[in-house]
A and B are shown apart, each in its own frame.
Chain A
Amino acid sequence: MSELDRREFLKIVGLSAGAAAAAGCSDPAEKLIPYVVQPETITPGIAVEYASTCLECSTGCGLHVKTREGRPIKLEGNPEHPINQGRLCARGQASLGRTYHPDRIAGPATRSGDGSLQPIGWEDAKAKLAAKLGSAAGRTWILGGPVGPSLDGLLDQVAQATGIAGRLTYEPFGDHALLEASRQLFGAYAVPVFDLTGADLVVDFGSDFLDTGRSPVEHARQLAAGRDVAAHANGGTRVIAISPRQNLTASNADIWVPAKPGSEGVLALALAQAVAQARGNATVSALASAGSKAAALAAAGIDAALFDKVAAKLAGARRAVALPPGVAASTTAGRSDAAAVLLLNAAVGSIGTSVKYPAADAKRTASLADVKKLIEKMNAGQVECLLIHDLNPVFSLPTALGFREALAKVELVVAFAPLADETTELANLLLPDHTPMESWGDASPRQGVRSLVQPTIRPLFDTQAMGDTLLAAARATGAAGVASLPAGSWKSVLEANWSGTSWRHALARGGEFGEMPQRSVSLVEGLSGVRVGAPTISGSGDLTLVAFPHSYLGDGRGAALPWNQEIPDPVTKLSWNSWVELSHEKAAELDVTLGDVVTVATEAGSVDVSVFPRGGIPNDVIAIPIGQGHTVGHYASRAGDEDPQPGVARGVNLADLLPAATDEAGARPSSRRRRRSRRPAAIAGSRCRSGRTTSASAVSHPSSICTTSRRRAASRTSSPRRRRWPPSTPPTTPPITPPITSPRRATKRAAMEPPEGTTSPARPSSSTPATMPIRISPIAGA
């Protein structure tokens, strides 16, 4: 009898006794799996940190990636990095989860006719792309999000070498309005750095700089230092927050000015005028001559005393900084709003001291208008191949633009995203990139600061760096221009771009951190006065929708990460869902309460969303966070819930409510002429009440909140993800579960439904002045 048989027999004899004995007593055996060859730098149990860069948003904070045995386990800020100086926001912390994400695309794949994915090898995949680039480069476009300077340069080179028709870099939360305003006022096409160090007054025009602003980690640090009571006998920096909704910044501000949505620009111009007069600044006073206190008071809906108080504080401040509107406060008049705020900075003399312009111009990126043109081309069948990277346009572009439909007309849609999303679902060639933790790359958050991205883990899946994929595909086309492409791999291209510095030193430090070369700017000679029209809101309702970026989800790219979903919103304490904020009075008037599902409709579409009544929001304003509403993703959608519902959105996508409108800057971002373009008409077409919306893409448009229906839509209500432990403990977020439908409510709802034929209220003229006239009409049907 062989040894094997004997052992088998041994098992059988022992099994019954052993199984009976061991029930529940012992853990399954754990394995100790040492290295085959232990790397010299690694001692099991001792963490090794690598310097890298956070790519979660475009701020470009430096990272220290803590790894154990070759696995990144924790991210911290790089203390040497000038932007974040050792700090890291929650989104940065959560970005660790991308690498270990269940949505990772395991390798290159093609999508067959029935929508299923067929894995293919990298060689075949690249050959497929190369064939298309070779035959139809002139009908190929690249659409992507912002990438680091080296990858950006390589993409341009590849596009040029292969003769690709065009390349668009589109940032949903881009700073177009500010760039255009800077050019208008100072002739500098650059985003200024707002330095709060040493400021004794910060006036925030709705950018929410402590939460979702331009550089929240940096600004929070500067403000904290400025408010350090030990260092400042008078209490330090004062903050005035101008925002219709009491956001995180307004909650922490000394003065909250609940100005009506869209009035930021008018208010800024009036303040600039008042401050310039008080300080005797004739130049600014002349430029801001259009600013009138009366108009501002009317537009903002605030009383004169509050205005005078803010103006007096600005006039008396030693150093004041005014922060231009961000995403939540962008309107169709975005450029004029930003210009008015810059003018206010000029009035208080902070241009050049607290508002610093870099010496170099910013690289022009695509605006929503450019994307619209691309969509037109796609619809016209002029785009045969579309390469999409670092962007989820199917999710983040306004649904009304029809990107999804246009994509169906493109023969080959190539997606480079490492995680499955709405766009990869529609792509027919997936060439997954590494996640940032697995990648080489760089970032340039501002001039003078270059930051490196280095891999801290060997790629977990069969992915390839986009730079390598494109280089290989471009070379394989054999096009004439290919000879001009840099030799070697993406990493060697990156190293070549860093050839002026010590590579090893830069890697160890995380980059090259110098002072930003500053340009001295002054107001352009012969500038005509800045004008901001009164905020006008098209539409036929009495509510104004403010679309604000979610604290952790950004433009929606953070929704895939479970940590971002789980951490409660800092103001409402809600998680794992969308909500609509409205005032307690409004809620009482509409007879809705926490968790009721209401329909919010604009002319672009409507969504059903749970109600969160709160203080700190005017009665005529509602607010919904941007970022949720994904239909793809283990965490982003409801596909990974305990009760899995693939394809069902978690929360609502604000893109469904946003019209395809753009602002002055967006309409002609590449034009040197500064004439005002015709703004697309915002159309009022709401069923119930409508108001004005602001959006990521500098949009103003009407919205409405429709009848409240106490529907028991369990899948849509925002009771957070079911918690497994402890089962009896109430969730940390207020449970928003709808009450049971009562007949009375049903009657109410019926009464509030608009009658047939009332769904097309008056609309404004198609040619609108600088700011959009918006009619506020009574509730349709009510």
Chain B
Amino acid sequence: MHESHESMPESPLDSRTDRHRRDLSPRRAGSRAQRVGSLCFGLLTAGLATAVVFWSGWPTPGEGAANAAASDVQVATGVCDAHRLKALKADDPSLEIEIPAEFDKQWPSASACQSAVDAWDPTAPGPKQPIPFSHKHHAGQFKIECLYCHSATDKSQAAGVPSVELCMGCHAQFPTEYDEIEGIKILKQHWEEKKPIEWVQIHRLPEHVQFRHNRHIQAGVACQTCHGPVEEIDKLHLVPDTKMGYLVPVAKLEMGWCISCHRENNQQASQDCLKCHY
């Protein structure tokens, strides 16, 4: 698996991100080290310490070509870049920036630009998705209901991932300026090519467990109970389990955790083995 990654350049559509890759960022280093134990811990820390030092001066995504010597006049290369330069200027009035007229626009908004950057932030935990989609932007800032996109959740055992068509239902109405955002560009590419998006699954139960989303939604269980505060996260990820070093959604989605909730709600929730194992 790793070999294939090495030999293959990573394209925006390349989603062959496995769980190992989530550990490659400095921020993830600690949790992975816990997980693999002390032997790997030392190795990892040493390597990553080097890496962090080595990278500190490097550009972060989104800065692109605008990154130049501080003394030069910085010229915006796009609307998103203009937003970024304006923010920098607000912090440091001495900065000289130049925003060409065609990039001096309100849309796409600064937060939209930022969400796409954050969703692909290599230093953030979680696998790289084929599209820099931010749950924080959609579900948090714009308060789109979970069930608007994951519409089968209250009907089907599978929550369902929205079709490209559903995404385009909104995004097709956006002005073309939005195409500057990487995520929208890739989305439209998928739509034009009629090619499905291969998302990397984050929350996963073992195959011997049958979980029915509709039952839980109908019983009033909040999505966040199992999936965590998705609306606050740009790049969806699992969190480290403190005891075992595993990556888990919010708590370890193991039987004990399920059962504890089922016990608390024993009027509604069954504790029959065959409810989930069949």
A contact set with B: CB distance below 8 Å: 1, 3-4, 6-8, 10-22, 25-38, 43-46
- A contact residues around B158 at 8 Å (CB): 44-45
- A contact residues around B196 at 8 Å (CB): 33-36
Could you tell me which residues of chain B, from 113 to 140, have a CB within 8 Å of some CB in chain A? 122, 127
B200 sits at the interface (CB 8 A): yes
Contact assessment for B47 and A44 in the assembled complex, using a CB-CB cutoff below 8 Å: no
Contact assessment for A37 and B24 in the assembled complex, using a CB-CB cutoff below 8 Å: no
Name the contact of B164 in the complex, choosing from A26, A27, A32, A34 (C-beta under 8 A).
A34
Separation of A530 and B24 alpha carbons in the complex (Å): 89
Separation of A26 and B247 alpha carbons in the complex (Å): 9
Name the contact of B6 in the complex, choosing from A11, A32, A44 (C-beta under 8 A).
A11
- B contact residues around A38 at 8 Å (CB): 163, 165-166
Which are the 7 A-B pairs with shortest beta-carbon distances? A45-B158, A45-B156, A14-B24, A21-B36, A34-B161, A18-B20, A38-B163
**Can you list 16 A-B pairs, Cβ within 8 angstroms, ordered by A?**
A13-B24, A14-B20, A18-B21, A20-B43, A21-B20, A21-B23, A21-B32, A29-B16, A33-B161, A34-B164, A34-B196, A37-B163, A38-B165, A43-B160, A44-B160, A45-B152
Q: Please give me the residue from chain B that is nearest to A13 by CB atom.
A: B51
User: Smallest distance from the beta carbon of A22 to chain B beta carbons, Å?
Assistant: 5
- B contact residues around A15 at 8 Å (CB): 2, 6
Could you tell me which residues of chain B, from 10 to 43, have a CB within 8 Å of some CB in chain A? 10, 15-21, 23-25, 32-33, 35-36, 40, 43
Q: Please give me the residue from chain B that is nearest to A30 by CB atom.
A: B201
Name the contact of A35 in the complex, choosing from B9, B18, B61, B164 (C-beta under 8 A).
B164
Separation of A56 and B33 alpha carbons in the complex (Å): 57
Contact assessment for B44 and A17 in the assembled complex, using a CB-CB cutoff below 8 Å: yes
Contact assessment for A18 and B198 in the assembled complex, using a CB-CB cutoff below 8 Å: no
- B contact residues around A1 at 8 Å (CB): 58
Contact assessment for A3 and B61 in the assembled complex, using a CB-CB cutoff below 8 Å: yes
Separation of A38 and B16 alpha carbons in the complex (Å): 24
- B contact residues around A17 at 8 Å (CB): 23, 32, 40, 43-44, 47-48
Q: Please give me the residue from chain A that is nearest to B51 by CB atom.
A: A13
Contact assessment for A31 and B6 in the assembled complex, using a CB-CB cutoff below 8 Å: no
Given contacts A31-B15, A33-B199, A37-B164, is CB(A11)–CB(B152) below 8 Å?
A: no
Separation of A718 and B204 alpha carbons in the complex (Å): 42
B191 sits at the interface (CB 8 A): yes
* Given A10-B122, A19-B20, A45-B156, 11 more pairs with CB closer than 8 A: A7-B10, A10-B51, A13-B48, A14-B21, A18-B23, A21-B20, A31-B15, A31-B201, A32-B198, A34-B160, A46-B155
- B contact residues around A22 at 8 Å (CB): 19-20, 23, 36
Q: Please give me the residue from chain A that is nearest to B61 by CB atom.
A: A3
Separation of A33 and B61 alpha carbons in the complex (Å): 27
Separation of A45 and B157 alpha carbons in the complex (Å): 6
Contact assessment for A44 and B21 in the assembled complex, using a CB-CB cutoff below 8 Å: no
Contact assessment for B9 and A8 in the assembled complex, using a CB-CB cutoff below 8 Å: yes
- B contact residues around A25 at 8 Å (CB): 35-36
Contact assessment for A34 and B199 in the assembled complex, using a CB-CB cutoff below 8 Å: yes
Name the contact of A29 in the complex, choosing from B161, B164, B201 (C-beta under 8 A).
B201
- B contact residues around A20 at 8 Å (CB): 36, 40, 43
Q: Which of A18, A26, A29 has the most CB of B within 10 A?
A: A29
Mask of B140-165 contacts with A, CB within 8 angstroms, 1/0: 00000000000010011110111111
Contact assessment for B163 and A34 in the assembled complex, using a CB-CB cutoff below 8 Å: yes
B186 sits at the interface (CB 8 A): no
- A contact residues around B253 at 8 Å (CB): none
User: Smallest distance from the beta carbon of A121 to chain B beta carbons, Å?
Assistant: 23
Contact assessment for A4 and B10 in the assembled complex, using a CB-CB cutoff below 8 Å: yes
Name the contact of A18 in the complex, choosing from B10, B24, B197 (C-beta under 8 A).
B24
- B contact residues around A6 at 8 Å (CB): 58
Separation of A44 and B1 alpha carbons in the complex (Å): 29
Q: Interface size for chain B: under 10, 10 to 19, 20 to 34, or 35 or more residues?
A: 35 or more
Separation of A4 and B25 alpha carbons in the complex (Å): 15
Name the contact of B19 in the complex, choosing from A7, A26, A36, A45 (C-beta under 8 A).
A26
Given contacts A20-B36, A28-B18, is CB(A36)–CB(B161) below 8 Å?
A: no
User: Smallest distance from the beta carbon of B49 to chain A beta carbons, Å?
Assistant: 11
Q: Please give me the residue from chain A that is nearest to B29 by CB atom.
A: A17
User: Smallest distance from the beta carbon of B101 to chain A beta carbons, Å?
Assistant: 28
Separation of A3 and B10 alpha carbons in the complex (Å): 10
Contact assessment for B35 and A21 in the assembled complex, using a CB-CB cutoff below 8 Å: yes
User: Smallest distance from the beta carbon of B244 to chain A beta carbons, Å?
Assistant: 10
Separation of A29 and B5 alpha carbons in the complex (Å): 13
Given contacts A11-B5, A21-B23, A34-B161, is CB(A29)–CB(B200) below 8 Å?
A: yes
Separation of A6 and B58 alpha carbons in the complex (Å): 9
User: Smallest distance from the beta carbon of A37 to chain B beta carbons, Å?
Assistant: 5
Mask of B193-208 contacts with A, CB within 8 angstroms, 1/0: 0111111110010000
Separation of A4 and B120 alpha carbons in the complex (Å): 13
- A contact residues around B84 at 8 Å (CB): none
- B contact residues around A43 at 8 Å (CB): 152, 155-156, 160
- A contact residues around B19 at 8 Å (CB): 22, 26-29
- A contact residues around B157 at 8 Å (CB): 45-46
Contact assessment for B23 and A31 in the assembled complex, using a CB-CB cutoff below 8 Å: no
- B contact residues around A21 at 8 Å (CB): 20, 23, 32-33, 35-36, 40, 44
- A contact residues around B122 at 8 Å (CB): 7, 10
Given contacts A20-B43, A43-B152, is CB(A10)–CB(B24) below 8 Å?
A: yes
Q: Please give me the residue from chain B that is nearest to A7 by CB atom.
A: B10
User: Smallest distance from the beta carbon of A9 to chain B beta carbons, Å?
Assistant: 9
Contact assessment for A46 and B163 in the assembled complex, using a CB-CB cutoff below 8 Å: no
Separation of A30 and B247 alpha carbons in the complex (Å): 15
- B contact residues around A18 at 8 Å (CB): 2, 20-21, 23-24, 32
Q: Please give me the residue from chain A that is nearest to B190 by CB atom.
A: A36
Separation of A596 and B61 alpha carbons in the complex (Å): 73
Contact assessment for B201 and A32 in the assembled complex, using a CB-CB cutoff below 8 Å: yes
Name the contact of B197 in the complex, choosing from A7, A34, A45 (C-beta under 8 A).
A34
- A contact residues around B43 at 8 Å (CB): 16-17, 20
User: Smallest distance from the beta carbon of B240 to chain A beta carbons, Å?
Assistant: 13
Contact assessment for B47 and A37 in the assembled complex, using a CB-CB cutoff below 8 Å: no
User: Smallest distance from the beta carbon of B18 to chain A beta carbons, Å?
Assistant: 5
- B contact residues around A32 at 8 Å (CB): 161, 198-201
User: Smallest distance from the beta carbon of A692 to chain B beta carbons, Å?
Assistant: 51
Could you tell me which residues of chain B, from 162 to 183, have a CB within 8 Å of some CB in chain A? 162-166
User: Smallest distance from the beta carbon of B50 to chain A beta carbons, Å?
Assistant: 8
- A contact residues around B50 at 8 Å (CB): 13
User: Smallest distance from the beta carbon of A535 to chain B beta carbons, Å?
Assistant: 54
Contact assessment for B47 and A16 in the assembled complex, using a CB-CB cutoff below 8 Å: yes
- B contact residues around A37 at 8 Å (CB): 163-165, 194
User: Smallest distance from the beta carbon of A83 to chain B beta carbons, Å?
Assistant: 31
